[in-house]
């Protein structure tokens, strides 16, 4: 009897604690306008295009994905789609920016990899990331994968900037590709000056620790768009020391795009609050659609 009372008190206490701050947070999380949502569409297609074979992104003849961004001028493409994710670099005259895009991976495999905890937080290689604070740590698998394409991508970005006198670089990617793009958003500015950088990711997992998230927030910043109950953005778990940078946009079940302030906002309008664990997620949400665009080639 006493135990039942204790349990029911405990549950109502938890219910109160869970709902009280959320009611307050609901009012202050803002929704993107339809114009703001549409402004992401070219970049969503650029991220999706990274799933296409490098031979077809190099000639910009990859079908619907390439056709969605007519006039794009590719510089270089690479990767083998297994050890090294596909990537491409080029110039978009319409957006007046250099585009760097990374391929993602199979969602179920990624979820399995990120839940088995067969990975560690590791320091960034000071040769690739000169001067980076040693407090910064990232997922060792993401860092290794990023290192395999980093030098070729840096060379292609430098070449594209000079060829088009570009003033801006935008790195995009979905899934694992978003994690690689986030690392590029730290890596490229350490080697290139005189241009602005922007990062737009879709269904991005957590990539690094608190110091890494703070570094992103203090430098270029990142926009990471998450669809509904996708499990990938809540992995690896925060209890393992992983933290998202600010800049989440969460697509809600209603279709509204919520702008989520702060790092790992726990409001139910944002991924961390909306998706309590992998069992209550939906891996089919990972590929989208993101405003009508489903990732893949
Ligand atoms: C989540 O967003 C709300 C609404 O803007 C804000 O008040 C709150 O501080 C945010 N939470 C975190 C953890 O950043």
Architecture of domain 30-285: 3-Layer(aba) Sandwich (3.40)
Range in 4-18, 147-161, 278-292 the model is least confident about: 4-18
Rounded distance between C-alpha atoms, residue 185 and residue 12, angstroms: 44
Nearby residues of 157 by Cβ (< 8 Å), 6 or more positions away: 89, 98, 100, 169, 188, 192
Report how far apart the first and last C-alpha atoms of the chain are (Å, whole number).
60
Supply the residues annotated as catalytic: 175, 230, 286
Contacts of 34 (CB under 8 A, 6+ apart): none
- Expressed in angstroms and rounded, the spacing between residue 245 Cα and the centre of ligand 1 is 13
Q: What is the distance between the alpha carbons of residues 169 and 242, in angstroms, rounded to a whole number?
A: 26
Atom of ligand 1 nearest to the CA of 27: 4
Distance 203 CA to ligand 1 centre (A): 20
Most trustworthy range by pLDDT among 10-19, 20-29, 236-245? 236-245
Distance from chain centroid for Cα 158 = 23
pTM: 0.90
List pocket residues of ligand 1, CB cut-off 6 Å. 25, 28-29, 261-262, 265-267
Which ligand 1 atom is at minimum distance from the Cα of 30? 5
How many angstroms does the Cα of residue 224 sit away from the middle of ligand 1?
A: 16
* pLDDT digit string, tens, across residues 91-127: 999 999 999 999 999 999 999 999 988 899 999 999 9
Contact status, residue 48 vs residue 174, Cβ threshold 8 Å? yes
| Domain positions in the chain | 30-285
Closest-CA residue, ligand 1 atom 1, reads: 265
**Whole-angstrom Cα distance, residue 181 to residue 146?**
8
Q: What are the tokens at 27? A: 């009012």
């Amino acid at each position: 009897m006493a135990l039942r009372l204790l349990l029911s008190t405990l549950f109502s206490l938890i219910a109160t604690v869970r709902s009280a701050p959320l009611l307050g947070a609901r009012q202050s999380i803002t929704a993107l306008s339809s114009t703001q949502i549409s402004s992401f569409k070219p970049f969503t297609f650029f991220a999706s295009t990274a799933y296409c074979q490098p031979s077809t992104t190099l000639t910009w003849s990859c079908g619907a994905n390439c056709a969605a961004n007519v006039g794009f001028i590719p510089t270089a493409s690479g990767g083998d789609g297994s050890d090294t994710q596909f990537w491409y670099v080029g110039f978009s005259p319409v957006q007046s920016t250099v585009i760097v895009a990374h391929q993602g991976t199979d969602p179920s495999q990624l979820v399995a990899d990120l839940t088995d905890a067969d990975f560690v937080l590791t320091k960034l290689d000071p040769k690739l990331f000169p001067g980076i604070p040693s407090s910064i740590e990232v997922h060792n698998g993401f860092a290794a994968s990023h290192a395999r394409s980093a030098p070729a991508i840096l060379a292609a970005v430098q070449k594209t900037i000079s060829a088009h006198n570009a003033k801006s670089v935008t790195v995009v990617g979905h899934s694992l590709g978003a994690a690689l793009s986030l690392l590029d958003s730290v890596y490229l500015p350490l080697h290139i000056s005189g241009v602005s950088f922007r990062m737009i990711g879709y269904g991005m997992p957590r990539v690094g620790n608190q110091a890494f998230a703070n570094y992103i927030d203090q430098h270029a910043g990142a926009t990471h768009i998450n669809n509904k109950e996708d499990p990938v953005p809540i992995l690896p778990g925060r209890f393992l020391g992983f933290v998202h940078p600010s800049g989440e946009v969460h697509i809600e079940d209603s279709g509204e795009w919520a702008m989520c302030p702060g790092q790992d906002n726990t409001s139910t309008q944002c991924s961390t609050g909306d998706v309590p664990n992998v069992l209550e997620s939906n891996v089919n949400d990972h590929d989208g659609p993101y405003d009508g665009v489903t990732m893949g080639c």
